[in-house]
């Protein structure tokens, strides 16, 4: 009888990753630190705690930022792969590309990736296969354009600031271009490949664009205040695809709550830790969007946000 009980206990330990060893290790990395990606990281950790994986108890939660440097992202990827954690969670397209390129064995659950197929992380969203799955944050571009047209109905040209070196940003650029042209408007591009170039790239749009649009581009969002300064100085409305940017000075955004994206990602990580194969888990687009407005920022840019927009906003930044 005692032998049977011991055998059952051993089988139970194998079935539960949290009991099979003292701890499991989840290694998280992001291309840069800014509020949206930080919220995503925190959401992953919160979801793991809800699933029973608590940092300092049965979970070792490791985090590294590449500080906006792709070479550092590659270095972090190599470091994590060498340490062989139970799951690696790269946040953002550049970090995901660096990790996925380096391992075919360690489970990878990416998040905040706009176009995982275009970024060559997977070839099929429904059946990703291999060791990779995750969550896409492809922006609701139709909603972005509709919001711009509602608040700035006279706008004929939209200026977009983006990093041409980020695959996610290029995908968003092309998606927005097709929608803008279908609406009979014009899209004007300005490129910044590093945060120090954001102010100059934004300034290059003055006189060429009626409004400025900042997509969920990690390079541009990390230096958002520089773009906002140019917009305020020149009375030009600045919209963002990143809802966390509204409290930092953008006048409005409709998009994802990145803590919620992190929670959704953490739920996938927990499934992998409990034994599911990443390649069997379909890659989905994150669920849920919020409308955030900042009437004070709008006023500083010479715009009044219509009452109808304010009334339906999830959050009004005071």
Q: What is the pLDDT of residues 281-304, one digit of tens each?
A: 999 999 888 999 999 999 999 999
Q: What's the confidence (pLDDT) of residue 15? A: 39
CB-based contacts of 288, cutoff 8 Å, min separation 6: 256, 257, 260
H or E stretch at 160: strand 157-162
* Domains, the chain, ordered by start: 15-137+257-285 (3.40.50.2300), 141-255+290-316 (3.40.50.2300)
Eight-class DSSP state of 55: B
How confident is residue 102, by pLDDT bands cut at 50, 70 and 90?
very high
Share of the chain above pLDDT 90, in %: 90
Give the pairing of strands 290-293 and 252-255.
antiparallel
In the prediction, which pLDDT does 13 show? 38
Are the CB atoms for 249 and 224 separated by under 8 Å? yes
Please determine, for residue 3, whether its predicted confidence score (pLDDT) is greater than 60: no
Radius of gyration of the chain (CA): 21
Torsion of CA 99, 102, 107, 109, to 10 degrees: 20
* Res. 274: pLDDT tops 50: yes
Q: Report whether pLDDT(16) > 80.
A: no
pLDDT of amino acid 22? 75
Average pLDDT over residues 219-237: 97
Whole-number Å distance between alpha carbons of 112 and 118: 14
**What burial class does residue 312 get, using C-beta atoms within 10 Å of its C-beta: 0-12 exposed, 13-18 middle, 19+ buried?**
exposed
Mean pLDDT of the chain: 92
For 308-318, write each residue's pLDDT tens digit. 999 999 999 98
Average pLDDT value for residue range 177-203: 97
pLDDT for res 9: 39
**Distance between CA 150 and CA 299 in Å, rounded?**
16
Task: State the pLDDT confidence band at 4, using cuts at 50, 70 and 90.
Answer: very low
Would you place residue 1 in the very low, low, confident or very high pLDDT band (cuts 50, 70, 90)? very low
Phi, psi of 142 (to 5 degrees): -60, -40
Residues 36-88 have pLDDT tens digits of 999 999 999 999 999 999 999 999 999 999 999 999 999 999 999 999 999 99
User: What pLDDT score does 290 carry?
Assistant: 94
Q: Which whole-number Å values give the CA distances from 202 to 9, 144, 159, 219, in the listed order?
A: 62, 19, 8, 13
Q: DSSP for 251-272?
A: SEEEE--HHHHHHHHHHHHHHH
d(CA 206, CA 7): 72
How confident is the model over 141-150, as pLDDT tens digits?
999 999 999 9
Q: What is the pLDDT of residue 14?
A: 35
**Nearest residue to 186 (alpha-carbon basis) of 196, 199, 176, 194:** 176
Helix (H) or strand (E) holding 143: helix 141-151
Residue 20 has pLDDT above 70, yes or no: no
pLDDT above 90: residue 240:
yes
């Amino acid at each position: 009888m005692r032998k049977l009980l011991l055998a059952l206990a051993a089988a139970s330990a194998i079935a539960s990753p949290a009991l099979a060893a003292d701890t499991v290790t989840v290694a998280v990395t992001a291309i840069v630190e800014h509020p949206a990606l930080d919220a995503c990281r925190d959401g992953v950790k919160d979801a793991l705690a809800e699933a029973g994986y608590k940092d300092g108890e049965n979970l070792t939660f490791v985090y590294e930022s590449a500080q906006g440097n792709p070479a550092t992202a590659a270095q972090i990827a190599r470091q994590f792969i060498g340490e062989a954690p139970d799951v690696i969670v790269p946040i953002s397209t550049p970090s995901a590309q660096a990790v996925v390129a380096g391992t075919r064995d360690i489970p990878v659950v990416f998040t905040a990736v706009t176009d995982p197929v275009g970024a060559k992380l997977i070839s099929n969203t429904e059946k990703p296969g291999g060791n990779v799955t995750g969550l896409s944050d492809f922006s609701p571009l139709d909603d972005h354009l509709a919001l711009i047209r509602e608040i700035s109905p006279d706008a004929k040209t939209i200026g977009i600031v983006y990093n041409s070196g980020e695959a996610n940003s290029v995908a968003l650029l092309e998606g927005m271009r097709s929608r803008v042209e279908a609406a009979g408007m014009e899209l004007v591009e300005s490129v910044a490949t590093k945060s120090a170039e954001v102010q100059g790239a934004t300034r290059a749009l003055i006189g060429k664009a009626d409004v400025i649009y900042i997509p969920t581009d990690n390079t541009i969002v990390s230096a958002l205040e520089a773009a906002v300064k140019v917009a305020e100085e020149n009375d030009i409305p600045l919209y963002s695809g990143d809802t966390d940017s509204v409290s930092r000075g953008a006048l409005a955004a409709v998009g994802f709550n990145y803590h919620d994206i992190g929670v959704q990602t953490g739920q996938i990580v927990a499934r992998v830790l409990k034994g599911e194969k990443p390649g069997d888990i379909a890659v989905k687009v994150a669920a849920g969007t919020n409308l955030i407005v900042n009437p004070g920022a709008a006023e500083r840019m010479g715009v009044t946000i219509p009452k109808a927009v304010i009334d339906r906003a999830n959050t009004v930044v005071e």
